[in-house]
Amino acid sequence: ELKVEQNPLFLSMQEGKNYTIYCNYSTTSDRLYWYRQDPGKSLESLFVLLSNGAVKQEGRLMASLDTKARLSTLHITAAVHDLSATYFCAVEDTVDSNYQLIWGAGTKLIIKP
Protein backbone atom coordinates (compact mmCIF):
# COMPACT_ATOMS: atom_id res chain seq x y z
CA GLU A 1 0.00 0.00 0.00
CA LEU A 2 1.37 3.35 -1.05
CA LYS A 3 1.79 5.86 1.74
CA VAL A 4 2.80 9.47 1.41
CA GLU A 5 4.35 11.51 4.19
CA GLN A 6 4.93 15.21 4.15
CA ASN A 7 6.97 17.20 6.56
CA PRO A 8 6.83 19.53 8.18
CA LEU A 9 3.07 19.77 8.61
CA PHE A 10 3.31 23.35 9.75
CA LEU A 11 5.91 25.96 8.95
CA SER A 12 6.07 29.57 10.01
CA MET A 13 8.85 31.63 8.52
CA GLN A 14 9.94 35.16 7.83
CA GLU A 15 9.91 36.76 4.45
CA GLY A 16 13.18 36.48 2.61
CA LYS A 17 14.14 33.11 4.07
CA ASN A 18 14.58 29.82 2.23
CA TYR A 19 12.96 26.58 3.22
CA THR A 20 12.16 23.10 1.95
CA ILE A 21 9.11 20.90 2.25
CA TYR A 22 9.67 17.16 1.97
CA CYS A 23 7.45 14.47 0.51
CA ASN A 24 8.37 10.83 1.05
CA TYR A 25 6.48 7.93 -0.44
CA SER A 26 6.66 4.23 0.23
CA THR A 27 6.47 2.38 -3.11
CA THR A 28 7.40 2.92 -6.72
CA SER A 29 5.51 5.58 -8.63
CA ASP A 30 5.84 7.33 -11.97
CA ARG A 31 4.22 10.62 -11.12
CA LEU A 32 4.28 13.10 -8.32
CA TYR A 33 2.28 16.30 -8.07
CA TRP A 34 2.53 19.41 -5.98
CA TYR A 35 -0.59 21.47 -5.33
CA ARG A 36 -1.29 24.68 -3.49
CA GLN A 37 -4.48 25.38 -1.55
CA ASP A 38 -5.49 28.76 -0.16
CA PRO A 39 -7.92 28.87 2.79
CA GLY A 40 -11.45 28.04 1.71
CA LYS A 41 -10.34 27.45 -1.86
CA SER A 42 -9.70 24.48 -4.07
CA LEU A 43 -6.37 23.18 -5.31
CA GLU A 44 -4.05 24.81 -7.79
CA SER A 45 -1.65 22.61 -9.69
CA LEU A 46 1.95 23.70 -9.25
CA PHE A 47 4.13 20.96 -10.65
CA VAL A 48 3.99 17.46 -12.05
CA LEU A 49 7.21 15.47 -11.85
CA LEU A 50 7.54 12.49 -14.12
CA SER A 51 11.04 11.12 -13.91
CA ASN A 52 14.00 10.62 -11.66
CA GLY A 53 15.99 13.79 -11.36
CA ALA A 54 13.17 15.97 -12.64
CA VAL A 55 13.42 19.56 -11.52
CA LYS A 56 10.83 22.22 -12.21
CA GLN A 57 10.82 25.86 -11.21
CA GLU A 58 8.18 28.53 -11.18
CA GLY A 59 9.07 31.83 -9.60
CA ARG A 60 10.29 31.26 -6.05
CA LEU A 61 9.21 27.62 -5.99
CA MET A 62 11.31 24.72 -7.19
CA ALA A 63 10.32 21.08 -7.06
CA SER A 64 12.52 18.05 -7.55
CA LEU A 65 12.07 14.31 -7.61
CA ASP A 66 14.39 11.48 -6.62
CA THR A 67 12.60 8.25 -7.46
CA LYS A 68 15.35 6.09 -6.02
CA ALA A 69 15.03 7.74 -2.64
CA ARG A 70 11.24 8.08 -3.14
CA LEU A 71 11.54 11.69 -2.17
CA SER A 72 10.36 14.96 -3.60
CA THR A 73 11.20 18.38 -2.31
CA LEU A 74 9.50 21.73 -2.74
CA HIS A 75 12.00 24.50 -2.15
CA ILE A 76 10.98 28.05 -1.44
CA THR A 77 13.51 30.75 -2.16
CA ALA A 78 13.35 34.17 -0.54
CA ALA A 79 9.81 33.61 0.65
CA VAL A 80 7.18 36.31 0.26
CA HIS A 81 3.88 36.67 2.09
CA ASP A 82 1.86 35.69 -1.01
CA LEU A 83 3.24 32.18 -0.80
CA SER A 84 1.38 31.55 2.45
CA ALA A 85 -0.89 28.57 1.75
CA THR A 86 -1.15 24.84 2.35
CA TYR A 87 0.95 22.75 0.02
CA PHE A 88 0.09 19.14 -0.81
CA CYS A 89 2.08 16.52 -2.59
CA ALA A 90 0.23 13.67 -4.25
CA VAL A 91 1.72 10.50 -5.65
CA GLU A 92 0.14 8.39 -8.32
CA ASP A 93 -0.41 4.80 -7.23
CA THR A 94 0.48 2.75 -10.28
CA VAL A 95 0.42 -0.59 -8.47
CA ASP A 96 -2.66 -1.05 -6.35
CA SER A 97 -5.35 1.39 -7.32
CA ASN A 98 -5.32 2.23 -10.98
CA TYR A 99 -3.49 5.53 -10.88
CA GLN A 100 -5.34 6.96 -7.91
CA LEU A 101 -3.60 9.89 -6.26
CA ILE A 102 -2.41 9.24 -2.74
CA TRP A 103 -2.19 12.51 -0.85
CA GLY A 104 0.17 13.80 1.74
CA ALA A 105 -1.30 15.46 4.81
CA GLY A 106 -0.34 18.91 3.61
CA THR A 107 2.10 21.52 4.86
CA LYS A 108 0.61 24.73 6.13
CA LEU A 109 3.04 27.50 5.35
CA ILE A 110 2.76 30.90 7.00
CA ILE A 111 5.12 33.59 5.85
CA LYS A 112 5.31 36.61 8.08
CA PRO A 113 6.05 40.01 6.61
Contact window for other proteins (CB under 8 A) among 20-28, 64-72, 73-81, 93-101: 93-101
Q: Are 95 and 28 in contact (CB under 8 A)?
A: yes
Helix (H, G, I), strand (E, B) or coil at 83: helix
CA-based radius of gyration for the chain? 14
Strands 107-112 and 10-14: what pairing? parallel
The single residue among 88, 91, 109, 111 that binds other proteins, judged by CB under 8 A, is 88
Compare residues 48 and 80 and give the one whose CB is closer to other proteins.
48
Answer yes or no whether residue 2 interacts with other proteins by CB under 8 A: no
Per CB under 8 A, contacts with other proteins among 24-83 are: 33, 35, 40-45, 48
Q: Is 96 exposed, middle or buried (0-12, 13-18, 19+ CB in 10 A)?
A: exposed
* Contact residues for other proteins, defined by CB under 8 A: 33, 35, 40-45, 48, 88, 92, 98-101, 103-106, 108
